């Protein structure tokens, strides 16, 4: 008997998120936008009618991951009706090629087009039922979209992401974000504060404010320092984090806010990218190495407790061994708590792709990454040693990866800490004082201190 494929009464959607925290947040927005139109979500991709991939375009390997997932879906789609959607930065960036390269993709939506998703998916399902193979695209960038009225459907946990702005106008020459996420725009602070209050009411103990360059947050008379302080004062929020500021314009008011407000985490992620002035100039970072170093000094003079972390790109166009050594020297000088180190990956249409040759051989890029990773591991190891013997407050996230007998949480400076639970119950969201007795390059090991009993 021939069974007609039936349109499901309630379409089940599975969403996979790749890339940065902004994508995590956007997936939560998408969940909210689709749920209010009657879609439901499943963790199980096997029973999903719709699989969405929220993608990242920042480096080649991010692309490759998505292509691997898409090719896995080819065989699934042969056996059952399935709508496949590509969202986010890759959808925006590859709008011309992706539908041809991966014919199984039914829906494409860039970061500013998520309001159109319910309609796009419904149309794709109807067309699929009728046996019509036609792509549905919505990849227009907008100068205004901030999704201000959408309350994200958040993942459980202790942390809630809140986007305070979208897009980027910095045009660092290596970076694809200004092209995939469009022009910079700040959200109304009223909406951000409402969202922060709602997060606190829902039991989130921490919020992380997100923007490509939070220092350029600007709305009427509001700047980022003012916004951060107001969010930190929301009752119930114990920790506020933010990422990322740009080193070119770090205002003193922001430094004062971080330094003095007890709820604002003593952690600043300050991407440096390179320690050489010629390379920084080619990267269009608009600061010099010595300007960066004097900012580091200012931060540390203001508050010695502030942990600094960074991003570095190794093997940018025409970077010489000597110029790379400048980056090594900068890392030795600053002694970051930790660092994300990336191999330069040329992205189509960026300024660097148009102006410069990606001429550092792959093997040299790899050597430089390894040298930096090794150096940073030693520094992180030494820095973490400094906590041994002290008591640090840890916000509990859950169990450690290794064992359900161990708790895991983060320090104010965002370092992972673990401890033996010894039969005691710890709940995500609890703040636990840990007496640190050992450490590695990535983890502090502690003993939970008895907490003062509540009156």
Residues that bind ligand SF4 (CB under 6 A): 168, 170-172, 175, 177-178, 212-213, 246
Judge contact between 265 and 413, C-beta under 8 A: yes
Q: Which does 336 bind (CB under 5 to 8 A by kind): ligand SF4, ligand 5AD, none?
A: none
Q: Which does 270 bind (CB under 5 to 8 A by kind): ligand 5AD, ligand SF4, none?
A: none
Q: Which does 368 bind (CB under 5 to 8 A by kind): ligand SF4, ligand 5AD, none?
A: none
Question: Least distance (Å) from ligand 5AD to the CB of residue 206?
Answer: 21
Question: Least distance (Å) from ligand SF4 to the CB of residue 184?
Answer: 8
Take residue 438 and report the two structure tokens written for it: 């050992």
Question: Least distance (Å) from ligand SF4 to the CB of residue 344?
Answer: 12
**CA 21, CA 214: separation in Å to the nearest integer?**
14
Q: Which residues make beta-bridge pairs with 420?
A: 406
Q: Which does 140 bind (CB under 5 to 8 A by kind): ligand SF4, ligand 5AD, none?
A: none
Half-sphere exposure of 21 (CA within 13 A, CB side): 17
Q: Which is nearer to ligand SF4, 5 or 61 (CB)?
A: 61
Helix axes 117-129, 21-35, angle to 10 degrees: 70
> From residue 287, how far is each of 3, 172, 249, 250, 368 by CA, in Å?
65, 12, 9, 11, 23
Q: Which does 147 bind (CB under 5 to 8 A by kind): ligand SF4, ligand 5AD, none?
A: none
Q: Which is nearer to ligand 5AD, 198 or 371 (CB)?
A: 371
Q: Which is nearer to ligand SF4, 30 or 210 (CB)?
A: 210
Q: Which does 213 bind (CB under 5 to 8 A by kind): ligand SF4, ligand 5AD, none?
A: ligand SF4
Q: Which is nearer to ligand 5AD, 136 or 241 (CB)?
A: 241
Q: Which does 99 bind (CB under 5 to 8 A by kind): ligand SF4, ligand 5AD, none?
A: none
Q: Which does 212 bind (CB under 5 to 8 A by kind): ligand 5AD, ligand SF4, none?
A: ligand SF4
Judge contact between 238 and 206, C-beta under 8 A: yes
Q: Which is nearer to ligand 5AD, 271 or 428 (CB)?
A: 271
Tell me the residue number closest to ligand 5AD, measured at CB.
311
Q: Which does 88 bind (CB under 5 to 8 A by kind): ligand 5AD, ligand SF4, none?
A: none
Q: Which is nearer to ligand SF4, 19 or 429 (CB)?
A: 19
Q: Which residues contact 95 (CB under 8 A, 6 or more apart)?
A: 108, 110, 137, 139
Question: Least distance (Å) from ligand 5AD to the CB of residue 455?
Answer: 46
Question: Least distance (Å) from ligand SF4 to the CB of residue 22?
Answer: 9
Q: Which is nearer to ligand SF4, 243 or 384 (CB)?
A: 243
Q: What is the DSSP string of 260-293?
A: H-TTB-SEEE---B-S-HHHHHHTT----HHHHH
Distance, CA of 15 to chain centre = 17
**CA 235, CA 189: separation in Å to the nearest integer?**
17
Helix axes 224-232, 189-201, angle to 10 degrees: 20
Q: Which does 59 bind (CB under 5 to 8 A by kind): ligand SF4, ligand 5AD, none?
A: ligand 5AD
Q: Which does 292 bind (CB under 5 to 8 A by kind): ligand SF4, ligand 5AD, none?
A: none
Question: Least distance (Å) from ligand 5AD to the CB of residue 172?
Answer: 7
Q: Which is nearer to ligand SF4, 269 or 365 (CB)?
A: 269
Distance, CA of 10 to chain centre = 31
Take residue 276 and report the two structure tokens written for it: 């050489």
Q: Which is nearer to ligand SF4, 168 or 254 (CB)?
A: 168
**CA 163, CA 143: separation in Å to the nearest integer?**
16
Question: Least distance (Å) from ligand SF4 to the CB of residue 233?
Answer: 28
Give the ranges where 303-419 is alpha helix by DSSP (H).
321-334, 351-355, 362-385
Q: Which is nearer to ligand SF4, 284 or 303 (CB)?
A: 284
Which residues form the interface with ligand 5AD (CB under 6 A)? 58-59, 174-175, 271, 273, 311, 313, 342, 344-345, 347
**CA 17, CA 434: separation in Å to the nearest integer?**
33
- Residues 454, 262, 413, 25, CA torsion sign: positive
> Smallest Cα–Cα separation from 298: which of 332, 262, 252, 334?
252
Distance, CA of 397 to chain centre = 18
**CA 61, CA 39: separation in Å to the nearest integer?**
31
Q: Which is nearer to ligand SF4, 153 or 311 (CB)?
A: 311
154: exposed, middle or buried (Cβ count in 10 Å: 0-12, 13-18, 19+): buried
Judge contact between 240 and 265, C-beta under 8 A: yes
Question: Least distance (Å) from ligand 5AD to the CB of residue 347?
Answer: 5
Question: Least distance (Å) from ligand 5AD to the CB of residue 345?
Answer: 4
């Amino acid at each position: 008997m021939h069974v007609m494929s039936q349109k499901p009464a309630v379409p089940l959607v599975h969403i996979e998120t790749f890339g940065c925290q902004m994508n995590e947040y956007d997936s939560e927005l998408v969940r909210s936008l689709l749920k209010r139109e009657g879609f439901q979500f499943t963790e199980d991709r096997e029973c999903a009618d719709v699989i969405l991939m929220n993608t990242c375009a920042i480096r080649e390997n991010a692309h490759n991951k998505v292509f691997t997932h898409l090719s896995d879906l080819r065989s699934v789609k042969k056996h059952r009706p399935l709508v496949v959607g590509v969202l986010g930065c890759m959808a925006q960036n590859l709008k011309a090629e992706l539908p041809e390269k991966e014919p199984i993709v039914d829906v494409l939506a860039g970061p500013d087009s998520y309001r159109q998703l319910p309609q796009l998916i419904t149309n794709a399902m109807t067309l699929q039922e009728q046996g019509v193979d036609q792509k549905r695209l919505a990849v227009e960038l907008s100068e205004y979209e901030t999704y201000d009225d959408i309350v994200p459907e958040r993942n459980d946990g202790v942390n809630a992401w809140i986007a305070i702005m979208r897009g980027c106008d910095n045009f660092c020459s290596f970076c694809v974000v200004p092209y995939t996420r469009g022009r910079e725009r700040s959200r109304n602070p009223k909406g951000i504060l409402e969202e922060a209050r709602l997060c606190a009411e829902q039991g989130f103990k921490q919020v992380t404010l997100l923007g490509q360059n939070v220092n350029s947050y600007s709305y009427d008379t509001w700047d980022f320092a003012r916004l951060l302080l107001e969010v930190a004062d929301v009752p119930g929020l114990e920790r506020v984090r933010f990422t990322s500021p740009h080193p070119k314009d770090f205002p003193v008011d922001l430094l004062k806010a971080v330094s003095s407000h007890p709820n604002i985490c003593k952690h600043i992620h300050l991407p440096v990218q390179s320690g050489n002035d010629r390379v920084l100039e080619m990267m269009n970072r608009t600061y010099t190495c010595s300007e960066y170093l004097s900012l580091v000094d200012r931060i540390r003079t203001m508050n010695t407790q502030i942990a600094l972390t960074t991003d570095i790109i190794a093997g940018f166009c025409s970077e010489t061994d000597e110029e790379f050594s400048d980056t090594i020297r900068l890392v030795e000088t600053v002694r970051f708590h930790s660092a994300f180190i990336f191999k330069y990956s040329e992205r189509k249409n960026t300024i660097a792709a148009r102006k410069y040759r990606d001429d550092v051989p792959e093997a040299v890029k790899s050597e430089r990454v390894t040298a930096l990773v090794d150096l940073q591991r030693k520094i992180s190891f030494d820095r973490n040693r400094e906590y041994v013997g002290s008591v640090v407050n840890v916000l509990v996230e859950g169990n450690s990866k290794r064992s359900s007998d161990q708790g895991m949480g983060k320090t104010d400076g965002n370092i992972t800490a673990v401890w033996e639970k010894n039969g005691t119950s710890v709940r995500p969201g609890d703040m636990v004082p840990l007496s640190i007795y050992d450490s590695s390059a990535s983890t502090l090991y502690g003993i939970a201190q008895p907490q003062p009993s509540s009156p």
